[in-house]
Amino acid sequence: MNILHFATHDIAGGAAKASYRLHAALRSAGHSSRMIVRYKGSNDEDVQQVPVYVWRSCFRRVKCHIPLLRGPTATYMFNLDIEPPVDTRLFYAHQPGDVDIICLHWITGLLTVRTIRKIYDHYQCPLIWTLKDSL
């Protein structure tokens, strides 16, 4: 089986460690397992870090301090629709038939709801989203 994981971190934090252990266990069981992360901390060659658009990140920080550019202010804390400043081309780097299962882990700052839909539409395979750190 060919598994593609998406996570914000690979080894920093409890959810990331659990995701990485699953990735490593699947490889040990003979499966092809790859991770795409925003922040890479390991030396694992099967973990790829997404390039970040530094200019977009800086502009977003400046924009929030200029009232005319700021726009409406959200009154909620959790929003899966804020576009992260990452280059999404790596998300679609594999051919649709090369991935059997997509595993989403802790994805804050990496994926949006729209991006998840695009990933699913590209690969057309089962998508599993495990929620860690939730009790």
Listed in sequence order, the residues at least 6 apart from 88 whose beta carbon sits closer than 8 Å to its beta carbon are: 50, 115, 118
Mean pLDDT over each residue of the chain, to the nearest integer? 80
**pLDDT category, 123, cuts 50, 70, 90?**
very high
Look at residue 71 and give its three-state secondary structure. Answer: coil
Contact indicator for 6, 102 with CB cutoff of 8 Å = yes
pTM over 0.85: no
CA 119 – CA 131 distance, rounded (Å): 19
Among 83, 37, 90, CA closest to 60: 83
pLDDT of residue 73: 58
The 10s digit of each residue's pLDDT in 78-96 is 555 566 667 777 788 888 8
pLDDT of residue 130: 87
